[in-house]
Amino acid sequence: MNIPDIERREHYLNINYGIRSWLFTTDHKRIAWLYLLSVTLFFFIGGIFATLIRLELLTPQGDLVQSETYNKLFTMHGVTMIFFFLIPSIPAVLGNFLVPMMIGARDLAFPRLNLASWYIFILGGAFTLMAAAAGGVDTGWTFYTPYSSIYSNTHVVLTVVGIFITGFSSILTGLNFIVTIHKMRAPGMTWFRLPLFIWAHYATSIIFILGTPVIAITLLLVGLERIFRLGIFDPALGGDPVLFQHLFWFYSHPAVYIMVLPAMGVVSELIACFSRKRIFGYSIVAFASLGIAVIGFLVWGHHMFVSGQSVHAGMVFSFLSMVVAIPSAIKVFNWTATLYKGSISYDAPMLYALGFIGLFTIGGLTGLFLATLGIDVHVHDTYFVIAHFHYIMVGGSVMGYLGGIHFWWPKMTGRRYPESWARLAALIIFIGFHLTFFPQFILGYIGMPRRYHVYPPEFQVLNVMSTAGASILAVGYLLPLTYLIWSLRYGAVAGRNPWGARGLEWQTPSPPPTENFERTPIVTEGAYAYEKDPEEIYPLGKPAHV
């Protein structure tokens, strides 16, 4: 092993040491690590709640926990996973690390704001964990009023404050990305030479900026209603609980696209790299991201087909929900077309990318079932819905996240992970995932409602399958945790560009220097010129400092 080479050269990891050099860093690459550690922590906390849920559902009786505890478990699972893992995962970890590197910048536009957003995230997380430690919250992650604002006796305010605070971390990250992508691109990096990862993060940032403030104000009103007994969402005081649902889903549906768009960006990079081809229909895929972000703001009513929303509104929302499937489908078709006659290799990141395409397709198509008014009435609030959104969020976002972590791990650490273990883990996750969630489609279709901890005995077989799958899935998630940590010390030295990728981030040493590039690069080609030699695409630029 050629250890001295990495150790000798100065890069962002060894430029200085000590806890202060990390907690007060303004380097986007180090902040990405801070996020990586924190979202991993939240992922496993959310995973513990999920484990308890699946264990309880092994038997039809409520023998592990009582119904009150069960309500808290699924609420804390949802809150932790959505607000503290899925939403920040790809943007705050991979986005933070890669956005400046992919466009040839030395950092994000506002490095101190970037660090502040991590502290805000941690503060919000602390409030939510405090709520969990103090006894939890039982409203469901949706906080529907008037239960959340009047009747629940659990720690709604603490949790809501935590989510409110965390929202600002998303907003600041989105703001930073938008400004960076607009103003910090290297010479020659035109909009249509940007990697699709950047387009996806640009679209995600738009949702961060325009959606998150609405959930902030909504949760603030719920908190005020609970503390001061304002009557905005309380029917007893003349308020309208359905209005809460409108406001909540105005953010929380686009939030689904916050979770999946960055994963789509990752998959575009992986598919192109491992089929050694330009992505098929680049500009269509880029605009599909923006299309999803825009149309995604107009579909929230499909969560409310049975909430007393008018039938006409329901029809419009149903139609628009079908429309938003089009850009998503375009992406799937374009990835598939990229594979066609490509020179495909099945390294671990590619396995995750292919897994993403399959699982996202199932998740997306079942989303169309749910967007259909009549079918939604039948399967509303059943396990069908649970299975659908887990196919999108776990099958889509988490697969994309893991694929991205593996792909850029050599760049982040300078070391390679053990390839065969990684392939095995990807396979275990794929199998465990299907075994966990596919039975839930059937459970939901034959009538098992969500959010109950007791169920009729005839549902047991499918529930046992699901719990068995969850244990396989848990093994699949613990494997990367283990071998990635192992590789930090023992992994093979990666070198500048282990995948032979054409993106700008691969043209600098691994790990990169603090300023990212030895010289400001000059870009003459898009990020997917796999038919060309990298030296030809990136002639040496002018020196970074004049």
Partner 1 sequence: MSKVEVFRQHHFEDVEQQHEASWLGMWVFLATEVMFFGGMFACYFVYRHWYLQAFAAASNHLDVLLGGINTAVLICSSFTMALAVHSAETNKRNALIIFLGLTVVLGTVFLGIKFFEYHSKFVEHLVPGSAFAFPGPFERPAEIFFSFYFAMTGMHAVHMIIGIGLLTALIVQARRGRFSAFYHTPVELTGLYWHFVDIVWIFLFPLLYLLGRHV
List contacts with partner 1 (CB under 8 A): 105-111, 171, 174-176, 178-180, 182-184, 209-214, 216-218, 220-221, 224, 228-232, 237-240, 243, 247, 250, 515, 520
Report in angstroms how near the CB of residue 258 gets to partner 1 at its nearest.
14
Count CB atoms within 10 A of the CB of residue 246: 18
Question: Tokens standing for 4?
Answer: 């001295």
CB of 289 to partner 1, least distance (A): 18
Asked if 292 and 327 count as a contact pair (C-beta separation under 8 A), the reply is yes
Q: What is the Cα–Cα distance from 318 to 300, expressed in whole angstroms? A: 10
CA–CA distance, 253 with 381 (Å, rounded to integer): 16
Of 164 and 483, the one with the shorter C-beta distance to partner 1 is 164
Angle at the Cα of 469 from the Cα atoms of 465 and 470, rounded to 5 degrees: 120
490: CB partners within 8 A, 6+ apart: 1
Q: Which is nearer to partner 1, 235 or 500 (CB)?
A: 235
CB of 107 to partner 1, least distance (A): 4
Least distance (Å) between residue 442 CB and partner 1: 39
Q: Which residue's CB is nearer to partner 1, number 184 or number 322?
A: 184
Q: How far apart are CA 296 and CA 293, in angstroms?
A: 5
Q: Which amino acid is at 252?
A: S
DSSP assignments along 170-227, one per residue? HHHHHHHHHHHHHH-PPTT--GGGS-HHHHHHHHHHHHHHHHHHHHHHHHHHHHHHHH
Residue among 330, 412, 329 nearest 368 (CA): 329
Find the shortest distance in angstroms from Cβ 215 to partner 1.
8
User: 209 vs 325, which CB is nearer to partner 1?
Assistant: 209
The residue among 114 and 318 lying less far from partner 1, judged by its C-beta, is 114
Are the beta carbons of 314 and 301 closer than 8 angstroms? yes
Report whether the peptide linkage leading into residue 534 is cis, meaning its omega lies within 30 degrees of zero.
no
Closer Cβ to partner 1, 111 or 358, answer by number: 111
Distance CA 490, CA 486 (A): 6
Query: 377: burial class by Cβ within 10 Å (0-12, 13-18, 19+)?
Result: exposed
- Closest alpha carbon to 57 in 518, 346, 460, 437: 460
In the complex, the smallest distance separating the C-beta of residue 231 from partner 1, rounded to whole angstroms, is: 5
Name the minimum Å distance from CB 251 to partner 1. Answer: 9
DSSP for residue 543 = B
Residue 180 vs 413, nearer CB to partner 1: 180
Residue 29: CB minimum distance to partner 1, A: 12
Compare residues 248 and 409 and give the one whose CB is closer to partner 1: 248
List, in sequence order, every residue forming a beta bridge with 493; answer none if it has no partner.
415
- Considering only CA atoms, give the Rg of the chain: 23
Buried b (16+ CB within 10 A) or exposed e, 216-233: bebbebbbebbeeebbbb
- Of 124, 280, 110, residue with least CA distance to 180: 110
- In the complex with partner 1, the residue whose CB is nearer, 165 or 171, is 171
Q: What is the token pair recorded at 269?
A: 């990079």
For partner 1, give the closer residue by CB, 212 or 507: 212
Residue 230 CB, nearest approach to partner 1 (Å)? 4
Nearer to partner 1, 57 or 207 (CB): 207
Indicate the Cα dihedral angle 309, 315, 317, 318, nearest 10°.
120
Residue 515: which H helix or E strand, with range? Answer: none
Closest approach, Cβ 24 to partner 1, in A, equals 16
Nearest in space to 93 (alpha carbons), one of 397, 528, 518: 397
- When the beta carbons of 114 and 328 are compared against partner 1, the nearer one is 114
Alpha-carbon distance of 324 to 344, in angstroms, equals 30
- Least Å distance, CB 545 to partner 1, is 9
CB of 284 to partner 1, least distance (A): 26
